[in-house]
Chain A
Amino acid sequence: MILLEINNRIIEETLSLKFDGASNGNKPEGLDVTFADFDGVLYHISNPNGEKTKVMVSISLKFYKELQEHGADELLKRIYGDFLVSTEDGYNVSLLYDLDALPANKEEVIHQAGMLKRNCFASVFEKYFKFQEEGKEGEERAVVHYRDDESMYLEAKKDRVTVVFSTVFKDDDDVIIGKVFMQEFKEGRRASHTAPQVLFSHREPPLELKDTDAAVGDNIGYITFVLFPRHTNANARDNTINLIHTFRDYLHYHIKCSKAYIHTRMRAKTSEFLKVLNRARPDAEKKEMKTMSGKTFSR
């Protein structure tokens, strides 16, 4: 798996199960599941008010307020329409599905439910992509603190949109592997000229952020994506958003896979060394020994 998946399998499987059960005419069972996603996102699927024929899917994102400033509510209303209902206590967005009135396009509805987190994020990107399309420069930079000490900065210019991710490497080894990975990642334009330009800065924020309070530190890295109109135009927009909103998780996933691969190599090398050692063990030869009185014996 090179790219992380965008949809949440647990939502899709749970809803599929319920929808199929309802269309087969089975009486629905009670449901109450709490689970999580990347970036501290929590979901809750339950039966509101104990009504087993209604399934509510709620999501909580710590940074939802910031997304709301950029039009998250409108976008969600556009995509989910009537499924969007007043939010459950403690959560930010709630969708309600009625098992007695199943929608005709079940698969599509389930797929969209699985993309709930992505759709929450999408509004910020769409807004800034539109700015670039309309040539509006000078709009304020968007800041989304999607993790406790990590943020995402978005800025639109006439001919490009810059997205800057700040990320923290909790482990010192991660810093090294991250740097090597980003070194290769930057060179993506060698492989394909459609790739966006990527810049990586370790410790210090890039020039675009020089007037902000962006953090400085040994274990902090900044990754800048420069997206051109070919990435932000209406045709490519959805795909770009899909790929970029989980970039931080993608980076850390690959760092961990690299570590796992290093372990594999370590195991292979260890078994090789063991073989060499075993070959090198001298045979217990029969040695002829003589004592002082002249008796010989062999050990």
Chain B
Amino acid sequence: MELPPCVVDCGTGYTKIGYAGNTEPQFIMPSCIAIREWAGVGDQAQRRLVKGVEDLDFYIGDEAAEKPNYATKWPIRHGMVEDWDLMEKFMEQIIFKYLRAEPEDHSFLMAVLALAASWTSRQVGERTLTGVVIDSGDGVTHAIPVAEGYVIGSCIKHIPIAGRDITFFIQQLLRDREAGIPPEQSLETAKAIKERYCYICPDIVKEFSKFDSDPGKWIKQYHGVNAVTKTDFNVDVGYERFLGPEIFFHPEFANPDFMQPISDIVDEVIQSCPIDVRRPLYKNIVLSGGSTMFRDFGRRVQRDLKRVVDARLKFSEELSGGRLKPKPMEVQVVTHHMQRYAVWFGGSMLASTPEFSQVCHSKKDYDEIGPSICRHNPVFGIMS
């Protein structure tokens, strides 16, 4: 039996790792690393030069959370690696401690933003490789169009609203209103509330009145424990439930520089693509990533997008004086139960195909050609 390839998806917030061929990652851990930091002189790069085996003294993921003499760092910001020293260490432990894989024996698939997204655009059952992927994780959200398996790189758009921004926003709302939350725990409390109680509403005004008219039904309670004093504290969860995720559609609530709702961005992305793929793109919009898991996220995107598209079609009809009647555009947002780990799952499926070993690059190729071999991916030439 052949050794299965390893699939690693390093995101801003969480890293998903496992072996190809499985439906779920074997480990999901926060993308953080706890190292011993010396308050010494010199810049960061100098301070990392240590003696003996001290460079191996670190923890990653969940183990990094509460270590008293260690400083927790997050090497990946907004989807991109910012600190390569820490990233290398992170990978050391992932490979040797968690996966227990000898790098010389296994192929590795590292999920890079857009490429993995294109694989998740495969509908379960039918294999269509054309669609738009809305990938929203902890650090960054992208809308990525894929046509016939080819990622249209020039049309990718980034949205600076993602999981972390929603958490911050909820934290601010809670801070203004609730007094009981211990300050060091306010971010984790906001995060827990976001994951447990938030949802997307069809109309904020109606939602406000729903909450005001029947608070008992809509306002929830969150119980937390103060880590230091060990006492309980209770938090009322009210408008945050729908206002948090609403910043996808009203970014101006959280970000003064960015005003476009996500549905507009998706529309722009599709309009910037070649005209012949636009209909198929509208028909197959796939969600992926933890921040797309809010209840009714798909329905709201579909509704808002359809409004924009219908308005434009109506406008063009009017402009032509009623002579041209455009065929109504079908807008469909696909949700599926693999959403949370869609990227990892896509990688796992991709790596378990027999063609995968042919498209892998070896260290020899890298030494010979350089980093540019990773820029071009022949994968989708074979998969058709």
Contact = CB atoms under 8 A, between A and B. Distances in A.
Interface residues of A, number: 36
A271 B48 CA distance: 13
Interface string A1-21: 110110011100100000000
Interface stretch (B71-79, B101-109, B234-242, B276-284): B101-109
Interface stretch (A49-57, A200-208, A261-269): A261-269
A294 B99 CA distance: 77
A188 B4 CA distance: 37
B92 interface: yes
B56 A1 contact: yes
Contacts of B100: 5, 8-10, 36-38
B56 A33 contact: no
A257 B56 contact: yes
A141 B289 CA distance: 55
Contact of A260 (B21, B88, B99): B88
Contact of A60 (B1, B43, B92, B93): B1
Contacts of B56: 1-2, 257
A77 interface: no
A264 B48 contact: yes
B38 interface: no
A114 to B, nearest CB: 11
Interface in B55-96: 55-56, 84-85, 88-89, 92-93, 96
Given A4-B96, A90-B1, A257-B92, A40 B55 contact: no
Interface string A245-279: 00001001100110011011101100110000000
A32 B26 CA distance: 12
Contacts of B55: 257, 260-261, 264
A73 interface: no
Contacts of B96: 1, 4, 249, 253, 256
Contacts of A133: none
Contacts of B1: 42, 60, 90
Contacts of A256: 92, 96, 103
Interface in B29-56: 43, 45-46, 48-49, 53, 55-56
Contacts of B93: 1
A38 B106 CA distance: 10
A153 B98 CA distance: 29
B377 interface: no
Contact of B92 (A2, A13, A260): A260
Interface string A158-174: 00000000000011000
A36 B102 CA distance: 10
Residue among A9, A13, A37, A268 with max Cβ neighbours from chain B (10 Å): A268
A265 to B, nearest CB: 6
Contacts of A90: 1
B104 A268 contact: no
Given A5-B97, A36-B19, A37-B100, A264 B53 contact: no
Interface in B1-25: 1, 3-4, 18-19, 21-22
Contacts of A257: 55-56, 92
Given A36-B4, A60-B1, A260-B92, A1 B19 contact: no
A66 interface: no
B4 A35 contact: yes
A39 interface: yes
Given A33-B22, A34-B21, A252 B88 contact: no
Given A2-B53, A36-B106, A90-B1, A260 B98 contact: no
Interface of B: 1, 3-4, 18-19, 21-22, 26-27, 43, 45-46, 48-49, 53, 55-56, 84-85, 88-89, 92-93, 96-106, 363
24 contacts: A2-B56, A5-B100, A9-B27, A9-B98, A10-B26, A32-B22, A33-B26, A34-B4, A35-B18, A35-B19, A35-B26, A36-B3, A36-B4, A37-B100, A38-B100, A38-B102, A40-B3, A249-B96, A253-B96, A257-B92, A260-B92, A264-B45, A268-B45, A268-B49
